[in-house]
Structures are given as structure tokens and as C-alpha cells.
Amino acid sequence: MFRLAVQNSVFRAPAAFYRAFHATAVADAKLTVQQLAEKVDLKGQNVLVRVDLNAPLAKDNVTVTDDTRLRAVVPTTKFLLDKGANVILASHYGRPKGEVIETGKNGRLNPVVKPLESLLGTPILKMNDCKGPEVEEAASKLTTGQVMLLENTRFYAGETKNDPELSAALGKLADYFVMDAFGTAHRAHSSTEGVTKHVKLAAAGFLMEKELQYLQGAVDDPKRPLMAIVGGAKVSTKIPVIESLLEKCDSILVGGGMIFTFYKALGYNIGASLVEEDMVDLATQLMKKAEAKGVPLILPTDVVLADAFDNDANSAIASVKEISGDWRGLDIGPDTIKLFQSEIEKAKTIIWNGPMGVFEMPNFAAGTNAVAQMLATATQEHGAITIIGGGDSVAAVNQAGLGDKVSHISTGGGASLELLEGKVLPGVAALTEV
């Protein structure tokens, strides 16, 4: 029978039970931007680069509040400029749902122009569309080392439908394509997958290459023990990745709102805590699968409860077996933090996706902040490889000022999850074979 994983009842398997998962890294089989530059003289050539410019804006919808994604664009763009290429940047922005370019008011890429110009140290020619005669003419007149920015590709509904016409229109702008938007690589869109059919060569940019090396390397050939820390509100969004990680990890720590679905499966009273009733049976199956494989699936032993979903609510710490009434769990408790720390200290590769609680509320952020600090310590003091994926986890690490203390922060939430699940990413599969 599955037992709640506490310090004296975490099930273990002999080391021989664990198996390495070996596969050929996708990155090894695809052309990289470095190889593209070695293969082709790029001087004066147009190179279309798919990037992710989804930088958050202040309430004025003009001021960029976090330039992390903009900075991620710089290495590949500067490399191409140094090779004398003309760089045409393409990106979606938000979810305009195919609002036509003429009437689109929100979602334009204008706010990122000045910050990006500052980072690149060069002027940017901003277009008001991403296809058509005007854009094609401007692209044809680019001179060595210029940067042109296309308008939001998602102003066209065809973008997310991988429309061949839009793909061909984007392909007219350049002979070569570089995919450097890992966060959209799991989507077969016109600007990520379709366009590759209309260029001579398609390569992975430096950011894409780094993401694949870390994420794919972590699960295909990790330094062991390999640990996954999985959090977030819903089990339903994480079941595929947990199932996949059970085949690869030596241990899995679980936190966040999803833990209460597991507790419900174990027959515990969860009070007013979040639960996905339709996922209870699947949670039971996951725990049984973990037990059968001998992989410790470690759940919190205590939680921080609140009598309302509010930062200023009354709160209390309780064992997971002592939740009752209208109280709800909003964070992992201090005993769990100690338990997680003892487990994290043993790991050599750690993948973290999803917060431990409602970290947006300062009074319920202790668990998430503690895990962020543990991973920074594991990296800096114990030489562990630590990989952070998922928007909330990344935000928590950056909020704690620890972004430069871990090995790698992934720029793609959904893409990183799908890669960890073992799925082939369309935006990677479409690149030119080496």
C-alpha cells in the first residue's frame, strides 16, 4: 500500500533498480547557428530569426518591466550581425486571436523597440506588418548589419493554424531561418515550423541550443541522483510530465495546490483546499506506479493553512492529517521544508517546475522561496546541475534574486514540460538536419 512519504516511510529502491534513459539529443542532429555561419557566407544575407519578445509591460502598456526575454535575444542576433547578416526578427506578442493588422490596437511590438535597440546597440527598423509588399520591399533593401522587426505574427489567425500562405509570406523575406524561441517550439505555427519549408536552411539559435542541451541532457544523460520538484495548482497539467519523470528520476518531490488531490486519494480530510475531483483516481495510479518502480514520490508532511484565500487571512501550521473545516492549504510547512532540504542535498541534477504554494502572497511564499534558496545552494556549494522551468518557478527564483545562482532558467514553460515528457517539439523537428 502506498504510504505518505515522511522521513521514516519514504520507499527506496536499490541503486541497481534505477536506470538511465538514453536517447540521441535532438540538438546533436540539427543545424546550429554557428554551423550555419560556417556553411554559408552570411554577409549581406537576410536571416529571419524567430524570437520571443513577450516582455511584460507596466499598466501604461508602454513600459517594459522585465527585459529577461529581450536579453535572451541578444547573443544570436549579435552573432549574426557580426557575421554581416541582416537580421529580421519575428515574434508573437500576447494572444490577439488573429485580430487583423489594420484594426489591432493592443499587442503591437512597439514597446520593445527602444529597450531592444539599447541592448543590441543598433537601430531597429520596426514594420507595421509581418508580411506583404511593403514588408518585402523593406527586407529587400536591407544593407549589411541591419535589424528589422516584424509586427506581431499573431495578428493573423493563420499563425497558430500553421497557414501555408503565411508561412510562405514569411519565407519570402529571407533565405535562412534561425529558431531561437524555445517557448514556442512546442507549437507548429507558421513562424516556428511552417516557415522552414520556404527557406534554404533552418538552424537553432544559441538560446534554443542551450535549452535543448540542459533540458534534454538532464533527462537523457544526467548526473545522478536525478530529482524532479513538481509544483503548481493542478495535477491535471503535470500528470504527463510526472509519468515521464517516473521513468527517469531517482526521486520526485511534490508541492503546490496539487498535493491535496493526492491527499484526497489517500483518504485524508483536506478541508477547503484545492482539489481536482476528476483527478483523484489518476493520483492514486501515479502513487502506485511510483511505488512499483521504487521511485520515492515525496509529498509534504505539513502545510500552512489559512481560513481564506487572502494574504492577511488567519493562518496556522498543521500536519497533513489534521486539516479540517473551512481551512485551506496555501503553502508547504516548516517540517516539509526541512524534509525537502535533506532530499535536495543528495541530488546531483535537479529539475524544478511549479511553485510550492501561493507564492504571490508574501505570507504564503516561504516554501517556494526556501526551495529557490536550496537550489541556489545546491548549485553553488555542491556542484549540482539545477534547471528551473515554468513561469511561476522562474518568477520566484528571479524575485528572490537567485537567477544567476542556478545552472539554467528555461524560457519555455509548456515547451520545457513537453520536452521533459519526451515529446518531439515541432519547432525543433523542422530544423535542417546536420
DSSP string, 314-344: -EEEEETT---TT-EEEEE-HHHHHHHHHHH
Same domain, 334 and 351: yes
349 and 393: one domain?
yes
Place of cell 504510504: 3
At CB < 8 A and 24+ separation, what contacts does 129-136 make?
129/101, 130/90, 130/101, 130/155, 130/156, 130/169, 130/170, 130/191, 131/156, 131/166, 131/169, 131/170, 131/172, 132/169, 135/173, 136/172, 136/173
417 annotated ligand-binding residue: no
Is 348 within the bounds of a domain? yes
Note if the bond before 111 is cis, omega within 30 degrees.
no
User: What are the φ/ψ torsions at residue 86 (nearest 5 degrees)?
Assistant: -95, 125
Bridge partners, 194 (sequence order)? none
Of 272, 225, 213, which is closest to residue 253 (Cα–Cα)?
225
Q: Is residue 351 part of a domain?
A: yes
pLDDT of residue 98: 57
CATH number at residue 403: 3.40.50.1260
Query: Is the CB of residue 236 less than 8 Å from the CB of residue 276?
Result: yes
Backbone angles phi, psi at 326, to 5 degrees: -95, 10
Q: Is 52 annotated as a binding residue?
A: yes
Determine the pLDDT at residue 105. Answer: 56
Q: From CA 277, how far away is CA 292, in angstroms rounded? A: 24
Q: At what angle are helices 413-420 and 239-246 packed, to 10 degrees?
A: 40
Residue burial 92-105, b: 16+ Cβ < 10 Å; e: rest:
bbeebeebebeebe
Pairing of strands 328-332, 302-306: antiparallel
Spatial strand order of the sheet with 328-332 comes to: 315-319, 302-306, 328-332
pLDDT value at residue 393 = 83
Please state, in angstroms and rounded to a whole number, the distance separating the CA atoms of residues 316 and 328. Answer: 10
pTM value? 0.79
For 32, the 3-state DSSP assignment is strand
Which of these three, 148, 177, 207, is where a domain ends?
207
Domain assignment present for residue 429? The answer is no
Distance (Å, rounded) from C-alpha 56 to C-alpha 63? 8
Residue with cell 522587426: 149
385 plus 241 within the same structural domain: yes
Residue 148: inside a domain: yes
Domain-located, residue 9 = no
Together in a domain, 301 and 348: yes
Give the domain-ending residue among 207, 228, 246: 207
Q: Give the pLDDT score at 243.
A: 87
Whether 13 is covered by a domain: the verdict is: no
270 found inside a domain: yes
Q: What's the pLDDT score for residue 143? A: 87
Residue 404's domain spans which residues?
215-421
Residue 256 assigned as binding residue: no
Q: Is 238 annotated as a binding residue?
A: yes
What single DSSP character describes residue 395? H
Question: Could you tell me if 167 and 293 lie in one domain?
Answer: no
Q: Based on the domain organization, do 183 and 275 belong to the same domain? A: no
Is 154 labeled as ligand-binding?
A: yes
User: What are the residue numbers of the active site?
Assistant: 69, 234, 391, 414
Q: Are residues 176 and 247 in the same domain?
A: no
12 is in an annotated binding site: no
Would you say 278 is a known binding-site residue? no
336 and 191 within one domain: no
The number of folded domains in the chain is 2
Low-confidence ranges of the chain (pLDDT < 70): 1-28, 97-106, 391
Annotated ligand binding at 393? The verdict is yes
Residue 354 known to bind ligand? no
Same domain, yes or no, for 42 and 104?
yes
* Alpha carbons 99 and 62: distance in angstroms, whole number: 20
pLDDT for 2: 32
User: Is 267 assigned to a binding site?
Assistant: no
**Does 54 appear as a known binding residue?**
yes
Q: Per residue in 2-56, pLDDT tens?
A: 333 433 333 232 222 222 222 334 455 899 999 999 999 999 999 999 999 988 8
Determine the Cα–Cα distance for residues 395 and 406; give it in Å rounded to an integer: 13
Determine whether 137 is exposed, middle or buried from the number of CB atoms within 10 Å of its CB (0-12, 13-18, 19+).
Answer: exposed
186 plus 263 within the same structural domain: no
Domain boundary among 207, 228, 258: 207
Cβ–Cβ < 8 Å for 180, 73: yes
Residue 39 has what pLDDT?
96
Q: List all residues 6 or more positions away from 268 whose beta carbon is below 8 Å from its beta carbon.
A: 320, 321, 323
Residue 126: predicted pLDDT: 97
Q: What is the pLDDT of residue 291?
A: 95
